[in-house]
Amino acid sequence: MQQSRRAANRLQSLLRTGESTRLLGEVATPAGTIEEMVYAPGLCEGCHYHDKANFIYVVEGAHWAGHSRGGDTCHPGTVRFLPAGEPHETYFPFGSWCLQIELSESIVNLASEHGPMTCSPGELPGTRAGALGARLHEGFLIPDEASQLDVEAATLQLLLGESGASQRKAAPPWVLRVRDMLREEVQDRVTLAALSRGVGRHPVQISRQFHRHFDCTIGEYLRRARVARAQVLLRRHDLEITDIALACGFTDQSHFTTAFRKVTGLPPHRYRLQRITNASPVKPLPAAPPTKYLESGS
């Protein structure tokens, strides 16, 4: 936990006051547009999608991601794939530093001419994928002609490599329905009995299978979903924090503050203040990838 907090402090130092995300740099390559992004500790991004397929290489700071096949923790040194239009959600308890490449149509077509491509969302397997992700990052940091060739080659290998998501069994439809019920019932009291009736499965089976496929408990997921909704509402200055708490399914403001702090590291009023405070100068970005602070399973 102490290492996680150190990582959070480091990532926060790369953000201006009040920022939840920051674009550190952007490079256009034949393989697609590469962006280096920092996400603030405590940020919750609800369900959304991108028009183009993406690879995400996690440089520093573990976070959690969910998609149509399940969800898991994204550790430093791993690469993930998101197809175009794939609904997904991300939660950053300690922040994260990522390299994202939005794939060009030309690179996708080039890969498809060679053979079957990575097509399912999730983490790509093995150390080889991580090494290719590190090569993408190196090519981003040294944007010359030779690096662009390496970026294109690494992207093609990732597209044509084995998909970790295809090897991992997808969550069955009834588990995904539990996930959807948790999203839909963000304002109401949720019980295992109600979820059991909704999907026709035993509560024990629901608890075990949800944790297996989403790498978090039902309670953790519900708390994240409610806090994500609250973060959106806190940007509206016409709403009282008490009203936001009730609208997001919390019993009272005290309960809301405790849950919000657990997910984001901040109480709701401080989170709101950070979003309206004048920006301060951003600190310089190191020239090389940072030390990985988070232990596996953080």
Instruction: Say what the pLDDT of residue 7 is.
Output: 64
**Which residues, at least 6 apart from 70, have a Cβ–Cβ distance to it below 8 Å?**
122, 168, 170, 171, 175, 213, 214, 215
Instruction: Say what the pLDDT of residue 5 is.
Output: 60
Task: Please give the DSSP secondary-structure letter assigned to residue 235.
Answer: T
CB 72 within 8 A of CB 214: yes
Cα–Cα distance measured from residue 280 to residue 148, given in angstroms and rounded to the nearest whole number = 34
CB 44 within 8 A of CB 92: yes
Nearest to 165 by CA among 79, 49, 224, 63: 79
Instruction: Say what the pLDDT of residue 204 is.
Output: 85
**The pLDDT of residue 4 is above 80:** no
**The pLDDT of residue 164 is above 70:** no
Domains of the chain by range and CATH?
2-167 (2.60.120.10), 173-274 (1.10.10.60)
HSE of 40, CA atoms in CB hemisphere, 13 A? 20
**Which residues, at least 6 apart from 97, have a Cβ–Cβ distance to it below 8 Å?**
11, 14, 36, 37, 38, 39, 58, 59, 60, 61, 290
What pLDDT, in 10s, does the model give residues 213-272?
Answer: 998 888 888 888 899 989 989 988 889 999 999 999 888 899 899 989 888 888 999 888
* Alpha helix ranges (H) inside 100-217: 105-112, 126-141, 145-160, 164-167, 173-184, 192-199, 203-214
Q: Pick the most confident of 10-14, 109-113, 289-293.
A: 109-113
pLDDT-based confidence at residue 65 (cuts at 50, 70, 90) = very high
Concatenating the DSSP letter of every residue in 239-276 gives S-HHHHHHHTT-SSHHHHHHHHHHHHSS-HHHHHHHTT
**The pLDDT of residue 105 is above 50:** yes
Percent of the chain residues topping a pLDDT of 90 = 43
- pTM: predicted TM-score of the whole model, two decimal places: 0.72
Q: Pick the most confident of 58-72, 159-173, 178-192.
A: 58-72
The whole-number average pLDDT for the span 70-94 is 93
How many CB atoms are located within 10 Å of the residue 113 CB?
6
pLDDT-based confidence at residue 84 (cuts at 50, 70, 90) = very high
**The pLDDT of residue 41 is above 80:** yes
**The pLDDT of residue 290 is above 70:** no
Residue-averaged pLDDT of the chain: 83
Concatenating the DSSP letter of every residue in 193-224 gives HHHHHHHT--HHHHHHHHHHHHSS-HHHHHHH
Nearest to 127 by CA among 164, 169, 77: 77
